[in-house]
Every structure is written in C-alpha cells, then in structure tokens.
Amino acid sequence: MRIALGSDHAGFDLKERLKATLSEAGLEPVDLGTYSQESADYPDFGHAVSEAVSGGQCELGVLVCGSGIGMSMAANRHTGVRAALAWNEEVGALARRHNDANVLVLPARFLDEGEALGILNKFLEASFEGGRHQRRVSKIDLERTGGEEPQ
C-alpha cells in the first residue's frame, strides 16, 4: 500500500518517525515534504498529499503540522479527500470506520511519538463499515450533489 506523507516544519520530526514505521511494516511511504525543520507553508504539503490521494497515486495519506487544523483545511478542499484530524486512537479508528477517511491528520505539538504511532496503527487497521455511514459520507462532496447542499 502506498501512503502519501507530508508535513510542515512543526511536524517534520514526527513525519520522519511515521515514515520509518510505515517502511518497517512493509508499506510504501511516499514522502512529499517538507524535508527539513526549516520554516515551510503547510498548505503546500497538504495539497500535495491530497492530490496524490485524490489522483489515485496513493491509497491513503498522512499529514502532520503543529495543530493539525491548517492541514485539515487544506486537504479537505480536494474532491474525494476526507481528511480527519485525530488526537487519540479511538478518533483515528472512527474516522476510517464511520467517515471513510483517507487522510489522517496529526497535531505534532499535542501528541508524543507513542500516541501518534498508536493513532496511525488504529487508522490503518480500521476499515469503512459502510451501511448507514455510506449515506452520510455520500453527502460530503457538493460536486456529487450538483453543487448544492444536500437535503
């Protein structure tokens, strides 16, 4: 499985650790930057990861910034991307099971490495349950509903 990774400077160290963990697990991380702790603009990396996921080059994405909020905003601008900001394992798993999230966003300044790795593992282990959740997920993209808000 190919997983796109991106971070700004605040998430760089954690992204590097996540990348190593994914490789060790036999997955294929695709690092789309940033490549240092030098100040960087989070939307650049949020868009790069989201394009890789929405374009089908990667099955999933992981984004890391200080709070996770900016990355979530940037990522969710892309059709077909459902980026979820997770701060604990349960939220990470529910994002996949109930919301069919395909991009995990982690707040580097609010998690230690162990917490982040636990969230990533739960996110990857979970799968979309469909059923009643599918109806709700189908209402997310306005393009699918003709550009109008769903009733």
Catalytic positions: 65, 98
What spatial distance separates the first Cα and last Cα of the chain, rounded to whole Å? 36
Q: Which two tokens stand for residue 50?
A: 């989201």
- C-alpha pair distances (Å), 93 with each of 35, 48, 65: 28, 24, 20
Residue 56 is classified by DSSP as: T
| Preceding amide of 145 cis, omega within 30 | no
